[in-house]
Structure 1
Amino acid sequence: MLGNGMQFTLMGLRGAIEGFSAPELGIITSGYFAGFLSGARYSPVLIRRVGHVRVFGALGGLMSAGLIAFPLMSDPWSWTALRVLIGFCMSGIYVTAESWLNARSTNETRGKVLAAYMICQTLGIIGAQWLLTLGDAATSTLFIGASILVSISFAPILLSVSPAPAADVSRSISLKSLFSSSPLGATGIFFLGAIYATQSGMGAVFGVQTGMTADAISLFVAALFAGALVFQYPIGWLSDRIDRRKVICGSALIGAVFCVLGFFAGNNEFALISAAFIAGGMTTPLYALLLAYTNDYLTADEMPGASGGLVFVFGAGAILGPLITGWTMDATGPFAFWTVLGATFTVIAAYALYRMSRRVQMPVEDTESYISVVPGATPVAVEAASAWAAENAELDPLDDDAPR
């Protein structure tokens, strides 16, 4: 995650040096999520065909090579192709890692293992922003550094003597069935995909276009992810006690309000970073909230298929978000970054409010446990988290000793 987190911000920093426009950088960002979506679908097939370790090593090598290739090319279409490749590789790496973690977990430890995995992902992205301050984006140093980090990260897996697990992903249910079961869950996940991809891919582009220093941009992007570590637990705790739609609506409204603050912050870096911390901090809890809310209206047999469907819907939104943001920033200026984010948060809040008038609240004691899953997880992790939530659904939701 250190290596992967570096390349997200590097795209904006080096892209500006290469003279890429905001729409071009939006296309490059969307390429990653297009590759990621394809990898989540096809990497289990590759694993079943040639084996867990071989796929893991091959995808790691391709990703490492792709990172080194960026500074050797200076056109947006080559960068887009490389981003598609890296997205595919990273998704396959996630699938294999999550399959391994899930296979080595028991019913008693699965919740803690998933939580630790998600914390490691978030800390890796945050730590990557600090590493970016150690080099110059105009040179190849940072790209080489990211490649080295990715390469050495595979040693523990490739040298492990533990048996490789199977990577089975359940067949997704139809999007129509998913929407019928939970209109808010499916719609909210789609728009949240657009928010997450815009924050992670276009945040550095916003910083460059507003004249922020490289160090300030790194801090700004880190703040977009750091908020999740603070807000995940309290929002999850609240969602297990009151109507989840209210928590979804409130979290989205908070995100929208702080996007307005970011829009009017101008060159005040403290205000911009504060807005990023709160608005970004709402994104990950919202993803987990929408997953949990969707599972509330599914049977245990339907949850595995719904996991793949939700990941697909999230990926579709993630592809679209940077494209819209890039074109809007090009047409109206860099602060359209906040306009698009704020508008999308508002859509989620408004739709949650509308759904409260269309469906009676489910009793709190009948809901599933809150699922701590970060955006960008593959169906393997989402399915495992859903299974864990179903296993713990019989616990008293007001019991503070119940696992979360």
Structure 2
Amino acid sequence: MNTAYQRFQFSLLISTVFICGAAEGMLLPVIATLLEKNDVPAILNGVGSMSLYVGMLLSVPLMEKPMRRLGYKLFLIFGLALITIPLFLFPLWINIWFWFALRICVGFGDSMLHFAAQTWITIDSPPGKRGRTISFYGFSFGLGIAAGPMLVRLLDYGTAVPFIISGFFCTVVLFLLLLLKNEFPELVDTNDSSVQQLFTRYKKVITAAWSGLVTTFAFGYLETSMNNSFPIFALRNGYTLDAMSALLPAFVMGGLLTQVPLGMIGDRMGRKRLLPLMCLLGSISLALTGLLSVYFYGIFFTLLAAGMLIGSLYSMSMSYVSDLLEREQIPLGNILMMICYSMGCIVGPVTGNTLINFIHGSGLFYGIALFILLASVSCWIHQKSLARHNYYGEKAASGQ
């Protein structure tokens, strides 16, 4: 960030990501809490939470060409608007299907905003500083996710209060985005839209980076299981709203403590070594959360430790996938990451709530630990495969 404008641009981008994270972090636990108090079954509650990520999943494959035509600025503005407007509409009617439609809209906006921000930041980041730069992105989003659940306490002042406060801050940032200069991404030419050409592009990216995509899926599962299923677990196990508001941010706060340091460590020692190790240790910590789930401080400290290990998993995965891809493949890599993240987010609430029903107490945490362990194993297997085909040597020879 060499000029004052570039520093302002980067600061505004990560501020936008923070506000988006806070809105998302508020939305899942607040809605889950309200529906649980209105005696909505846990599985149906989880299905309703899927809608946010269904919207994300449906929108992601459609974004590459529109962003190339509109540019980063307009794409960010449209995305944030699609998040802001529903926030003011949620309090109008407490109905699971009305909220289902609104959350699909939020999912569309969330995908647009993150795709533009991720692509802008990733492509502009030098490879040697990519982990540090992207870690600021992850730190900002994580800080928002940590702040969001704290708004659950505002339900004591009225159902509409958390939604209105979140919508107000989104509106402020929406107007600030107008100050940015519009820039256009250097995306790969996709004029040839034949099925064979699209299949070839997707196949190349998936072959090169599938372990990073699996890790992103696991993080999506983890995040929504925590934000949606954890409030239901807490309420059914005698934890108060105040206790829930303290426990929910523990994982994210742990991630914030190590987000930037892990990004810098990844730049130095290589994310291909760091990522599977952190996933392995994180899965062990989450399994311990299951063992200690009846104790407030047992949950708090094990979730804090898990957050320190894998709370920055998404930004580490983003840097890792970018390391594995050529420059012109990075936007498509981001699209596939968001698809995998959305799929994990869809599976998370339903699976988590099902585990709560059938394995009382610790089942939620054992399920998350299993997915993170599978992500670690996939990284090791993929890297062995890449090493056999001398993929890393070819990347080094090409100067990437």
TM-score by length of 1: 0.75
Unaligned stretches of 5+ residues in structure 2: 1-18, 191-197
Matched position secondary structure for 1:344: helix
- Which residue of 1 is the match for residue 181 of structure 2? 163
Residues 93 and 242 of structure 1: CA distance in aligned 2, closer, same or farther (over 3 Å): closer
Q: Is 1:215–2:233 an aligned residue pair?
A: no
1:5 equivalent in alignment to 2:32: no
User: Per residue, is there more helix in 1 or in 2?
Assistant: 2
User: CA shift at 1:108, angstroms?
Assistant: 11
DSSP 3-state at the match of 2:387? coil
Within 5 Å, give how 1:355-374 maps onto structure 2. Answer: 355=382, 358=385, 360=387
Question: How far apart in 1 are the matches of 2:76 and 2:210?
Answer: 36
The superposition leaves residues 205-254 of structure 1 with CA deviations (integer Å, 9 ceiling, x where unpaired) of: 33233232222222222112112222334444444555755433321222
Q: Distance in 2 between matches of 1:205 and 1:327?
A: 11
Q: Which residue of 1 aligns with 2:114?
A: 94
**1:151 lines up with 2:171 in the alignment:** yes
Aligned residues: percent identity?
19
Residue 337 of structure 1 corresponds to 364
Do the aligned residues in 1 keep the contact of 2:231 with 2:244 (CA within 8 Å)?
yes
Q: Within the alignment, does 1:226 sit opposite 2:227 as a pair? A: no
Instruction: Work out whether residues 138 and 315 of structure 2, in 8 Å CA contact, stay in contact via their aligned partners in 1.
Output: no
| Counterpart Cα distance in 2 of 1:152 and 1:367 | 47
CA shift, 1:341, in A, is: 0.4
Asked if structure 1 preserves the Cα contact closer than 8 Å seen for 2:87 and 2:163, the reply is yes
Compared CA separation, residues 193 and 54, structure 1 to 2 (3 A): closer
Number of aligned residues: 369
Match of 1:26 in 2: 46
SS at match of 1:165: coil
Counterpart in the other structure of 1:310: 337
Q: State the 1:284 CA deviation.
A: 4.1
Match of 2:373 among 334, 339, 346: 346
Runs of 5+ consecutive residues of structure 1 not aligned to the other structure: 370-389, 394-404
Q: 1:265 to 1:66 in 2, by over 3 A?
A: same
* Counterpart Cα distance in 2 of 1:93 and 1:292: 18
1:99–1:165 Cα contact (<8 Å) kept: no
C-alpha displacement of 1:337:
1.6
Could you tell me which of 69, 85, 89 is aligned with 2:105? Answer: 85
Is 1:197 paired with 2:227? no
Judge which range, 52-61 or 188-197, deviates more. 52-61
Judge conservation of contact 2:289–2:299 (CA < 8 Å) in 1. yes
Q: SS of the counterpart of 1:360?
A: helix
- What are the within-5 Å matches in structure 2 for residues 4-403 of structure 1? 4-43=24-63, 59-96=79-116, 114-136=134-156, 139-158=159-178, 160=179, 162-166=180-184, 170=188, 174-240=201-267, 242=269, 244-355=271-382, 358=385, 360=387
Amino acid at match of 2:256: L
- Cα 1:154/1:271, change in 2 over 3 Å: same
Quick one: which amino acid aligns to residue 94 of structure 2? S
Q: Which moved more, 1:236-245 or 1:70-79?
A: 236-245
